[in-house]
Amino acid sequence: MAFLERITRLMSLALVVIGFVAVALMMLHITADVFLRSAFDVAVPATERIVTRYYMIALALLPLGWVEWSKSMISVDAFSAAYGRVGERFVAVFVPLLSAVIYGVFGMATWLQAMEQFKVGAYIMSLDLVIPLWPTYFLVPLALFMAMLVCLVRIVAGFLPSSSTGTDS
């Protein structure tokens, strides 16, 4: 189980790194666009479209698995003291299970949408530049399925002794 936990953690961390790279590229792209507009009155083509369709999707969604792994989602523990051990155990299984189902349903729906966009070769035009959009449609199901995997690993690890799911970063 430790191997599965480690692989899941590393996969979610890899998506975070890709999200960080997207942030760095976005900053460089926007900086270049602003500099070129100000200094030479020349714009980098399709900056707005690339930022909104590529960088923002990557930085907003790819870290979802890591957020789930590190248990950094918003939670309300107002009544958790009243649950007792059995209630806490139930919540520890039910919440990740419900989350996994929701991530899975949304992941499947967005996967089908991504496949549809891939088949039609979705793109946008900016000036004379063709920007393919279909690749970004795959980022959403990738992030959702990663979060689902984290939830499922957390459920399985919750039934095993000495699991560390979500406790180490």
Q: Which of 169, 157, 139 is nearest to 9 (CA)?
A: 169
User: Which band of pLDDT confidence, cut at 50, 70 and 90, is reported for residue 93?
Assistant: confident
Out of 25-29, 37-41, 44-48, 150-154, least confident range: 44-48
Q: Please compute the mean of the pLDDT values over residues 69-92 and round it to a whole number.
A: 79
In the numeric block, which tokens belong to residue 144?
């959702």
Which amino acid is it at 149? Answer: L
Q: Which of 168, 151, 140 is nearest to 70 (CA)?
A: 168
Sign of CA dihedral 168, 9, 59, 39: positive
Asked whether residue 135 carries a pLDDT value surpassing 70, the answer given is yes
- Asked if 133 and 120 count as a contact pair (C-beta separation under 8 A), the reply is no
Out of 13-27, 29-43, 65-79, least confident range: 65-79
**Comparison of pLDDT for 20 and 45, the residue scoring more:** 20
Asked whether residue 169 carries a pLDDT value surpassing 50, the answer given is no
Residue-level pLDDT at 4: 87
